[in-house]
Amino acid sequence: MKKRIYRNSIYVMAGLLFLLLGCKEEKGWTLMEDDQTKPGVVQHPSVVNGYGQATIHYSLPENDNILYVKAEYVMASGATRVVKSSTYTNEILIDGFPDTKPQTVKLYAVSKAEVVSDPVDVIVEPKTPIFNLVFGEMKVTAAFGGIRITSTNKEKGNVVIVPMVDSLNNGEYLPLDNYYGQDSIILYNVRGLKSKEMKFAFYVRDRWLNKSDTLYTSITPLEENLFNRQLFTPLRLPGDAQILYGSMDNLWDGNLNTGKWPSFYTVENAGVPQSVTFSIGREAKLSRVVIFPRRENGFYDKGNLRDFEIWGSNTPNLDGSWESWAKLATCTVRKPSGTPSGTNTNADEVYGTSGWSFDLPEDAPKYKYLRIRNLRNWRGSYFMQINQIQVWGVY
């Protein structure tokens, strides 16, 4: 037993001696995070110029302790902007330029100890910024109850269109509702304006507050009124949806409570597109229809309309056929956030509460009867759930 203990003690002491000698051999070892050596410069930069931006490609210096590459450049405001890119890529995006003038960008390699290399100057020459492209294509015309702004955004960049009005004709332009988006086709209406000639101003900006020139023009909005819902009456036609809860009168009872019950609600097992038909009381020039969804688990759920059509007629066939009807619009409800059902942002909630508004053709004749044909709800089926319908235009 004593020999075994003695032999084990020798093994332990030999192991400790080995560790001590090993530590002595590593005496000069340091962490990369503590290495204050200046890294080498970024190598072989090349530029691909974009619209209001540029992408710089490069090679990393031959250092093991590079953490990231950073670019520094001066914005139009005079502020210096810093953009960083990890070592897992060999490119960096430089954006926010207000014009096509050549710009100098300084590239640095940065070590894990945050030691910065010497700079490498790179000249970029961005193409025309997207906000200026959108401004160049922008047109403004009169619309029912306001103005219509149209343009194209082929590069789908984020832009803001800023409309303003000098309603008092005193040279002071006050802001109206801005357009925010990146749609390739821009079609935007500003509502709630009186039908009188007014002076307007418009410009386009980006998220860095770079902005285009300003368009000044005088426009007289077309008259638009909310039709008297007390003149509305149901028209039950063969083939129209079978109502499960509520009644058609719930569609225009004036109650905009988003959780109102009962609401107009049709049978859920419908196997084909469903329709509902009603009279607005007299022939009228229609400007738009606003659908107010009911909020249960959210506005973008259950039988709330998603894809639907709006049809008009003055002499509808009482057999329920469609030959006497003219299709006025094919409508799709799109969530402002673009997120899947069940995930809603504040913008989604605001859009649902304010109602889904769809314009009708300005060159269409007057109609007395309307028919809404649901092609798909937010469950992917055909039944309908509607809180309220508003119809706008002029008699």
Q: Assess whether 206 and 303 both reside in one domain.
A: no
Q: Taking phi first (over 0 means left), then psi (-120 to 50 degrees means alpha), and beta for anything else, what does residue 36 get?
A: alpha
Q: What's the CATH code of the domain at 89?
A: 2.60.40.10
- Regarding whether 365 and 282 lie in a shared domain, the answer is yes
CA distance 9 to 40: 51
Residues 249 and 322 occupy one common structural domain: yes
Are 140 and 202 a contacting pair, CB within 8 Å? yes
- Residues 134 and 204 occupy one common structural domain: yes
CATH number of the CATH domain containing 280: 2.60.120.260
Q: Are 202 and 266 in a shared domain?
A: no
Same domain, 325 and 187: no
Residues 114 and 144 in one domain: no
Which residues on adjacent β-strands are paired with residue 390? Answer: 290
246 and 373 together in one domain: yes
* Domain contains 217: yes
In a domain, 59, yes or no: yes
Q: Which of 91, 124, 157 is the last residue of a domain?
A: 124
The domain containing residue 154 runs over which residues? 130-222
Last residue of a domain, one of 222, 248, 268: 222
| Beta-bridge partners for 57 | 46, 91
Residues 170 and 218 in one domain: yes
What domain count does the chain have?
3
Residues 119 and 139 reside in one and the same domain? no
Query: Which token pair is 114?
Result: 């945050």
3 in any annotated domain: no
Cα 256 to chain centroid distance, Å, stands at: 26
The answer to whether residue 22 sits within a structural domain is: no
Given 201, 222, 243, which residue is the final one in a domain? 222
37 belongs to a structural domain: yes
Would you write out the chain's pLDDT as a tens digit for each of its 395 residues? 444 444 444 444 445 444 444 444 343 444 556 788 899 999 999 999 999 999 999 999 988 789 999 999 999 999 999 999 999 999 999 999 999 999 999 999 999 999 999 999 999 999 999 999 999 999 999 999 999 999 999 999 999 999 999 989 999 999 999 999 888 999 999 999 999 999 999 999 999 999 999 999 999 999 999 999 999 999 999 999 999 999 999 999 999 999 999 999 999 999 999 999 999 999 999 999 999 999 988 999 999 999 999 999 999 999 999 999 999 999 999 988 888 878 889 989 999 999 999 999 989 999 999 999 999 999 999 999 999 999 999 99
Contact assessment for residue 242 and residue 189, using Cβ atoms and an 8 Å cutoff: no
Asked if residue 163 is part of any domain, the answer here is yes
Is 4 within the bounds of a domain?
no
CA angle, corner 48, sides to 110 and 98, nearest 5? 90
Q: In terms of domains, do 156 and 110 share one?
A: no
Indicate whether 322 and 284 sit together in one domain.
Answer: yes
Residue 191, domain member (yes or no) = yes
Sign of CA dihedral 334, 339, 344, 346: negative
